[in-house]
Structure 1
Amino acid sequence: MKKLEHFLNTYKGNHLSHLLFLEDKNLFWAKENKVLIAYQQVANRLVVLGDPIGERTYFQEAIKEFEQYADRKKSKAVYYQVSSSTTSYLQNHKVFKLGEEATVDLNSYSISGKYGAKLRNRRNKFNKQGYQFQVVNPPHTGKLLKEIEEISDEWLSGKKEKGFSVSFFKRDYVALSPIGTLRNPEGKLIAFVTLGYAYKDSKSLIVDLMRYRPQSPHGTMDMLIISILSWAKDEKYEKCSLGMCPLSNVGKSKEDKIYEKVANLIYEYVKVPYNFKGLREYKRKFSHSWEARYLIYSNDDWLPSVFLKLYMLINRSSTKNIVNTPTSPKSLNYKNQKVG
């Protein structure tokens, strides 16, 4: 993990690099350790999470190395939640827009005036009732970690954790992060949010794992986000990510392909088990900045099959470290290892 920390601090990481500390992904080191590609294998797909990290001038060659590695494993490479900058390195592939990531410009963020009236009233109500918000930096006490694990268990209510592209509760992972806490007037912890960042001293913050007790008062999530954004602004952060809104602004153009148009219908009309449109509408209360995220896959691959593999990957057991995969041939300068 020390090697990973040093690498991210050197090359600045990306919008998903905090998830590497969950230790559930393989690390593919390319170009003599100058480029890092994080991935998991599911069936015959090697699914890369986010953009490559490292020396940008080597990205094209690093991706070529990774594709050769996938070929050797008789698998296909899939690139998940990449930014528009990565699409230029994969021009001979198919591209599907997954959705958009909600970000907040903290330099201009404010809940004053007419626009912020509802959020301001929400915050004032919680404050008047005696609720207290605090950001606690690591190292964390065993008592706090036990409290947030209890909340996480209540929030899950027996449901299985998801993984890969989303964080899950793992004590060692949570212990690394600053934690925003919300306590009721009696001092009982009712909600928490872990805060991620791409690298040390980054000016960008990521709202990571956010959970609350089922009996928490209405508006608890609003209060958490309002408080985090205000705290981050005071701490001189410049940007805060609220995460992905899947299928947001997908399939709205006449030129879009049939799969994208189907995705738009799902976004507009499907509410169960996942309300895609509702998620964007919720995050729009805080954010007016949206960054596109893409799925990139081989020309000879089939999108429904890719989505099935992604579903399997995100929904499979995430609480254990994955099995390490073999080191690639030294002649190709491959190094493939698990985080840690």
Structure 2
Amino acid sequence: MRGSFRNIHDILDALWRSVQLLIFIDTNVIQSTSRAARLYTVVLVFINWTFIFASAVLLLKPLVYTPLVTRRDRGRVRSLVKKYGQNTIAYLALEHDKKYLFGIQVEGVCAYTVTGEVFVVCGDPIVKAEDARIFLQEILHFCGQNAYQLLLINVTGQFYDLYNEQGFGTVKFGEDAAFYLPEYNLAGGKIAKVRAAINHATKAGIIVSEYNPAAGRDLGIEKQIDGITSEWLKTKGGYEMHFMLGGTGLPEPLDRRYFIARDEAGTVLGFVVFLPYTDGYLADVTRRRSDAPQGVLEKIIYEAFMTFKEEGIKWGNLGMSPLYNVADSEKAKLPEKLFSYIYKNLNSSYGFQQLHHAKEKYAPTHWQPRYLAYFPKPFSPKLAYALIRCQIKEGAWQIVKGELAAFFQRIPRK
């Protein structure tokens, strides 16, 4: 087509005219002498800008599908949690590691993150029970549009039948240590260890009080709380679990409640952060100094529960014992059997049994089952990896490394 253009004399001229044509979309820079040449220039410009637009869409896809969370969004989520937050971990939706998918046809929200191609939801959708079916279908539609698999972690029995009805796979993932406060006290043999620990702390002059940063900040107390957290992180190898656990939230306490234990000198020895849910409070963050006297956390938790009891709150909760009692029948599913094996045999990286015994000593009045719900079936390695990766930034490698180290330590040395 060289003869179809008047003002193209050499290769440099052709390159310069092409830049002007493609960037400025000015077909006049090339003086075509035939219909075919004019059609060529128009098609070339069209193809060029099609590729530019497609590239921009692909680059901006994360921003388009996971928009920035605004303060207004968090206020909206907070309101929904107060109205429909039946799951004990519903308040974790307000942590800053969450993104939000709001209902279109109904009032609701789910707090999520995306790991690989898995849309991971913290707890159940936060929605009125009557609207749950519609909102769940909206979540499935969104995941289908974006080629995501869907994983909901630590769901309750509230929507269990609905998940199965909609074609989800469900497996038991653990049990929550729940306390019906109107009936809870320190009587009985099951709680003897906690009772003794509390008595020890009381004799040591330890006093528990509620710290309310919303009513007035005490930077001295908060500095000590941060110090305890820093010390605690060192014992955990410097990393902290995310997504399914919260932080202290002191910069923005909102509806959290803080109970602290101090000695006679006023030194903060330990603290517990409680999160609200429907008719109850969850002990989300529990930490103490390494040299704190025995009974510090036991005294904080029991006195906090008694405070809630006096306020007419019905439930206290110490959170889930992961993988506990998950394969308790002959009909246990394959993932549940695998979880049960991990609970019994792989405790080096995460002390599943130790955590359960720490909750069990408080003698919960109820053990409430918690589940994983996922779509589509079956439970795949990709879902298993997303389950770990969303909570531990180091991912599965951190667990494998810990278990390998423990394995080699058990090998007898000659």
Alpha-carbon distance, 1:301 to partner: 4.6
Alignment partner of 1:4 out of 77, 88, 112: 77
Residues 248-273 of structure 1, C-alpha deviations (whole Å, 9 max, x = no match): 11113222123322221222233312
CA contact (8 A) 2:80 2:108 kept: no
Residues 133-185 of structure 1, C-alpha deviations (whole Å, 9 max, x = no match): 11122313233222211111111116122111111344324465221101122
Cα distance in 2 for residues equivalent to 1:23 and 1:314: 14
CA contact (8 A) 1:252 1:264 kept: no
Alpha-carbon distance, 1:114 to partner: 4.2
Alpha-carbon distance, 1:51 to partner: 1.3
TM-score by length of 2: 0.71
Alpha-carbon distance, 1:281 to partner: 2.2
Aligned to 1:96: 171
Cα distance in 2 for residues equivalent to 1:87 and 1:203: 20
Corresponding pairs, count: 314
Aligned to 1:162: 241
| Residue 29 to residue 175, structure 1, CA distance change in 2 (3 Å) | closer
| Residue 12 to residue 253, structure 1, CA distance change in 2 (3 Å) | closer
Cα distance in 2 for residues equivalent to 1:164 and 1:123: 32
Alpha-carbon distance, 1:300 to partner: 4.1
Is it true that 1:291 corresponds to 2:368 in the alignment? Answer: yes
**Which is richer in helix?**
2
Alignment partner of 1:125 out of 192, 196, 200: 200
| Residue 109 to residue 218, structure 1, CA distance change in 2 (3 Å) | same
Residues 13-45 of structure 1, C-alpha deviations (whole Å, 9 max, x = no match): 531121122122111111445121111111100
Alignment partner of 1:69 out of 133, 138, 142: 142
Aligned to 1:245: 321
SS state of the match for residue 216, structure 1?
coil
Alpha-carbon distance, 1:278 to partner: 2.6
Paired residues for 1:1-340 under 5 Å: 1-32=74-105, 34-91=107-164, 92-139=167-214, 140-157=217-234, 159-174=238-253, 176-198=255-277, 203-286=279-362, 287-316=364-393
CA contact (8 A) 1:96 1:296 kept: yes
**Which is richer in strand?**
1
Structure 1 range deviating more: 65-74 or 222-231: 222-231
CA contact (8 A) 1:161 1:168 kept: no
| Residue 176 to residue 252, structure 1, CA distance change in 2 (3 Å) | closer
Percentage of matched positions with identical amino acids = 24
Detail structure 1 runs of 4+ shifted over 6 Å in the superposition.
Answer: none
| Residue 220 to residue 40, structure 1, CA distance change in 2 (3 Å) | same
CA contact (8 A) 2:174 2:326 kept: yes
CA contact (8 A) 2:113 2:121 kept: yes
Which of the pair has the greater relative contact order for Cα pairs under 8 Å at 6+ separation?
Answer: 1
Unaligned runs of 5+ in 1: 318-340
Residue type of the alignment partner of 2:257:
P
RMSD: 2.1
TM-score by length of 1: 0.85
CA contact (8 A) 2:84 2:126 kept: yes
